[in-house]
Structure 1
Amino acid sequence: MTETPRSRARHRRRKTAVAIGVPLALTAAGTMAYGTDTGLFGAGAQRTASAAAPAWATATADGFASVNSLGQNGTYGGRDGKTVTVKTLADLEKYATAAEPYVIVVAATINMNPVGKEIKVKSDKTIVGAGTSGQIVGGGFFLGTGVHNVIIRNLTIRDSYQGIWNDKDHDFDAIQMDGAHHVWIDHNDLRHMADGLIDIRKDSTNVTVSWNKLSDNNKTFGIGWTENLVTDITIHHNWFRETEQRNPSTDNAAHAHLYNNFLEDAAGTTIKSSYGNYSRGRTRMVLENSYFQGMRNPVTKDSTASIVQKGNTFVGTSGRNESGGTAFDPKSYYSYSLDKTADVPSLLKSGVGPRTSIGTTATTSAAAATTLTVAKDGSGQYRTVQAAVNAVPANNPSRVVISVKPGTYRELVKVPSNKPHVTIQGTGGSRKDTVIVYNNAAGTPKPDGSGNYGTGGSATVAVQADDFQARNLTISNDFDEAANQSLSGHQAVALRTAADKVFLDGVIVTGDQDTLLLDTAAKDKLGRVYMTNSYVVGNVDFIFGRATAVIDRSIITLKKRWNGTSAGYITAPSTVANRKGFLIANSTVNGDVSAGSFYLGRPWHAGGDAALDPQTTVRNTNLSAAIKSTPWTDMSGFSWKDDRFAEYKNTGPGAGSASSDRPHLTDAQATGQEVADWLGGWTPTAS
């Protein structure tokens, strides 16, 4: 895909130039932090009393937004008002501009009309996305003079970009404030806007910006546009990725506290950083335990500003890295704790942006959940996972959590279709502590002499029940190919799902060939799967099937075959026509295999069915050098070019430019291939 040449832009007010260096390659993620908070969104409820509000509806800010000043005691948004759910622009604007307090839950993708529209938010508002489904496209929010006590949380705000990189004609921001105070911007995904992702201007103060992903933008995050020394701001745990300038640029801030942020300039892309954290004017900045990867001019200051650096890490950076002057002690204003700098990249990659738990409301079925305990040593109710599954009553109306103590459980587990709402959850400190493993392969004879298991029947864990969840555990098939060369059929499935609304959170699914079978109950049945914060390990067609499945914020690890060779295929979708297939998003592909040895996928026309229309989209994902430069290939006489295979804004040494052998989505096409489009109104949440 041809990119428009991008010229360097400068801060609006001053014209201090910065030197240009060469960033080094991005280091592929090798670890992930486990854990997300969870909840359940009741889509039918339009209003609920604030007295029964969940924790996210009454959450309060940390940092400078928590400090009492200007007659406002901290930042708590609309918690004292009613909670409303909106799915249209008209309703969002109605409640955001109302005089009274509201908690406004955005439960759909809302397109701004006209493009660039910024809703003028009034005081005492919480605007929060419902899980990952709240998206604002083509515009954003404006907070004017005196507006205060506003929370903007858990939203994706994107795509007002008008095709001009250094755009001086379209001031289309995601979030802009002029003279506002006590504002908390938290857990948002902000990207691809015509101007700033965040603009904090004209004496705005008592602002905290936390746990956001800011990406694919030029003038990203500006603070100042004032001669006064007023602004107090905290910026922590934000991931700046592929942003050219203002990361942030901080002008005349009285107190700017930046900590545990990750600034990343990925190699091999058209977006090159001009500078990272910039302290200008009379700004006093404290910069702590942040991680800079590949950035040009990672930390800069002008002669009148101050920067005190503590505990920061710089990898592959170049150009200016400055400090000097005196600043302040943030702990004299509020308490906070620092994460280790080395942990910041993995912590933020798995932790920033919208959470499935925020903006969702627990239901009575969740409250009625039953817990069954499993322990190999007899300290639980059951010694095997299957025994606990067997104890779940047929057609159970509410959630049953099977809580599995650490250990290795060598057994086959089947969750039949008449046992919905089952969660299998490890209780260890790591997903590696609880392991369900077996070693059947497609060619393994059944004990009763009735034939072989076949590919689908080889699964260690087989899920046929809707609304299934697995959390914090490992599911493995350890079939030994080297020792079974005489066996016909080496496909060995670790996990097979053949159900709808399957949520896999914080799991490892590992094997060799055909590791993860994402299926449906029947060809005419929908089977949606959402996997996040997880690992999938394998080598040949190891993510395959006809489900509508998302692998989000996860790590796909490639492994060598039984004989030590490097060759394989990540996906083999067998999607039914007019359905969505596989979406790999916001993830990392890595592994100790040879460069150029793996395909992203090939079309599986199961049973030779020409009516199928296999689909894999890989987007916003870091690809290791193992990926071939022509990443798609044919299968069993079917050409991948007759089906649906595409990429969008992937990075890393395995990424490549668009060609007839490597199709890329356009920006317009990518708008319709987001995670929410795959899930079709389902918000995956623990319940």
Structure 2
Amino acid sequence: MRRTSPTATAATILAGSLLTVATRAAATSTVLTVDQNGAKGAYATVQAAVDAAPKNSRRPVTIVVGKGTYHEVVSVPADQPNLHLIGATGDPADVVITYDNSAGTPKPGGGTYGTEGSATVTIAANGFLADGITFENAFDEQAHASQDGHQAVALRTLADRISFYHSRFLGNQDTLYLDAANKTDIDRVYVRDSYVAGDVDFIFGPATAVFDHSTIDALDRGSTDTNGFITAASTQLANKHGFLFTGSTFVSNAKAKTFYLGRPWHHLGDPLAIAQVTVRDSSLAAHIKDQPWTDMAGWSWAAARFGEYHNTGPGAGVSLFRPQLTDAEAEAATPAGYLSGTDRWKPWTHHRADPHA
């Protein structure tokens, strides 16, 4: 397959489709297209386009993905920074990247994939951006009820300055793995106007991540007591910032008071993994438990860094079991406070809803 001319503009490639800030930023960069119908100059798979993209680019490299369901495993290696993956229609339901490996799925040649290897999409390059894409792990838990290892990652990040807009992350256990190449790295992820669905520990890992005006959907597993856990952060003690949910909506089809907001994950028993999660100015439906934080594998939730601030809805509350931020702490618990860093990264200013972007 051939790629389009490096001089082609994103506006040309996306004529008639929704213009996003990502395509504006990439207007003079290399543009590749993916089209399952064999359009001239397009690649048939997302991975083929990734493989063809320039290495070590300092400017955005845009891959425009045409409408369709792409049944493939995709990996963006560390030597392909600044890659922008853009759904051609702007609707994430139209562009779906999906696969169905789980931690317990046998690998060709022996062994199993493990949690890390189960990911449908793995991002190991800095500066990655996605807009209008669905990332899915379609592993069927019921069909493989007797199999060990139901962890099934839709997307795993292993790099810094990664952002998602108007995207979806679909799975059950371990949907979104916000990892780091090295556990002491401060790798930052921004998720805006997006949707995450799952049941057990479905947003987890050591990265610093902000979920801004997004929907967090906890899926019913049929229990009348505990259906699951939304987060399992493994933030390093040296990192002040783990997961921040702000202006977001927590929903569920599960029974009331059957989901925890989170529990502290000490990966491989790491004593320096002290979870940090803040939920603020968000709407919590009735599925959230009155005591929304819980222990994990013998590690106490009270020793972690969990907090809430000005939440509303039937799942919100204030008690000894629900630590609240002070007003002074809340002033720092913002996208800027979590993500700006010494490089002054400001991904929250770049989204379609912002008329100043």
Task: Determine if the TM-score, normalized by the shorter chain, exceeds 0.5.
Answer: yes
2:345 pairs with 1:682: yes
Write the distance in 2 (CA, Å) between the matches of 1:371 and 1:566. 47
AA in 1 matched with 2:63: I
2:103 pairs with 1:409: no
- Tell me, yes or no, if the aligned pair for 1:598 and 1:627 is still in contact at 8 Å: yes
- Tell me, yes or no, if the aligned pair for 1:602 and 1:640 is still in contact at 8 Å: yes
C-alpha distance after superposition, 1:176-205 (max 9, x if no partner): xxxxxxxxxxxxxxxxxxxxxxxxxxxxxx
- Tell me, yes or no, if the aligned pair for 1:408 and 1:437 is still in contact at 8 Å: yes
Q: Give the count of matched residue pairs.
A: 328
AA in 2 matched with 1:670: A
Aligned-residue offset at 1:505: 0.4
Matching residue of 2:82: 421
Matching residue of 1:216: none
Matching residue of 2:260: 599
Instruction: Identify which of 135, 139, 148 aligns with 1:488.
Output: 148
Change in 2 beyond 3 A, CA 1:535/1:652: same
Aligned-residue offset at 1:524: 2.2
Matching residue of 2:7: none
2:332 pairs with 1:672: yes
Matching residue of 1:466: 126
Write the distance in 2 (CA, Å) between the matches of 1:563 and 1:628. 13
Aligned-residue offset at 1:521: 1.2
Matching residue of 1:376: 36
Write the distance in 2 (CA, Å) between the matches of 1:373 and 1:565. 47
Matching residue of 2:303: 642
Change in 2 beyond 3 A, CA 1:510/1:565: farther
C-alpha distance after superposition, 1:422-466 (max 9, x if no partner): 1111112521011000000001111132x2111011000100000
AA in 2 matched with 1:510: L
1:277-426 → structure 2 map (5 Å cutoff) = 366-379=26-39, 381-426=42-87
TM-score between both structures, scaled by the size of structure 2: 0.88
Aligned-residue offset at 1:563: 8.4
Aligned-residue offset at 1:566: 5.9
Write the distance in 1 (CA, Å) between the matches of 2:308 and 2:223. 31
Matching residue of 1:574: 234
List runs of 5+ in structure 2 lacking aligned partners. Answer: 1-17, 352-356
AA in 2 matched with 1:467: G
2:110 pairs with 1:446: no
Instruction: Identify which of 86, 108, 117 aligns with 1:457.
Output: 117
2:91 pairs with 1:430: yes
Matching residue of 1:653: 314
Aligned-residue offset at 1:393: 2.3
- Tell me, yes or no, if the aligned pair for 2:224 and 2:255 is still in contact at 8 Å: no
- Tell me, yes or no, if the aligned pair for 2:232 and 2:265 is still in contact at 8 Å: yes
Aligned-residue offset at 1:653: 0.5
Matching residue of 2:248: 587
2:190 pairs with 1:530: yes
- Tell me, yes or no, if the aligned pair for 1:396 and 1:420 is still in contact at 8 Å: yes
Aligned-residue offset at 1:367: 4.7
Instruction: Identify which of 217, 220, 225 aligns with 1:560.
Output: 220
Write the distance in 2 (CA, Å) between the matches of 1:562 and 1:490. 17
Aligned-residue offset at 1:487: 1.4
Write the distance in 2 (CA, Å) between the matches of 1:427 and 1:591. 30
- Aligned with 1:560: secondary structure? coil
Aligned-residue offset at 1:561: 2.5
Matching residue of 1:38: 21
- Aligned with 2:98: secondary structure? strand
- Tell me, yes or no, if the aligned pair for 1:512 and 1:561 is still in contact at 8 Å: no
Change in 2 beyond 3 A, CA 1:461/1:677: same
Aligned-residue offset at 1:664: 0.6
C-alpha distance after superposition, 1:198-253 (max 9, x if no partner): xxxxxxxxxxxxxxxxxxxxxxxxxxxxxxxxxxxxxxxxxxxxxxxxxxxxxxxx
AA in 1 matched with 2:258: S
AA in 2 matched with 1:622: S
> Percent sequence identity over matched residues?
50
List runs of 5+ in structure 1 lacking aligned partners. Answer: 1-34, 41-356
Aligned-residue offset at 1:396: 2.1
Instruction: Identify which of 259, 272, 283 aligns with 1:611.
Output: 272
Matching residue of 1:195: none
- Tell me, yes or no, if the aligned pair for 1:573 and 1:581 is still in contact at 8 Å: yes
C-alpha distance after superposition, 1:534-588 (max 9, x if no partner): 0000000000000000000000111123889861100000001131100011000
- Tell me, yes or no, if the aligned pair for 1:560 and 1:567 is still in contact at 8 Å: yes
- Tell me, yes or no, if the aligned pair for 2:225 and 2:257 is still in contact at 8 Å: no
Write the distance in 1 (CA, Å) between the matches of 2:96 and 2:224. 25
Pick the structure with more strand per residue. Answer: 1
TM-score between both structures, scaled by the size of structure 1: 0.46
Write the distance in 2 (CA, Å) between the matches of 1:565 and 1:640. 19
Cα RMSD of the aligned pairs, angstroms, is 2.0
AA in 2 matched with 1:405: G
Matching residue of 2:174: 514
- Aligned with 2:116: secondary structure? helix
Change in 2 beyond 3 A, CA 1:672/1:636: same
Instruction: Identify which of 464, 483, 502 aligns with 2:162.
Output: 502
C-alpha distance after superposition, 1:307-351 (max 9, x if no partner): xxxxxxxxxxxxxxxxxxxxxxxxxxxxxxxxxxxxxxxxxxxxx
Aligned-residue offset at 1:515: 0.2
- Aligned with 1:368: secondary structure? coil
- Aligned with 1:484: secondary structure? coil
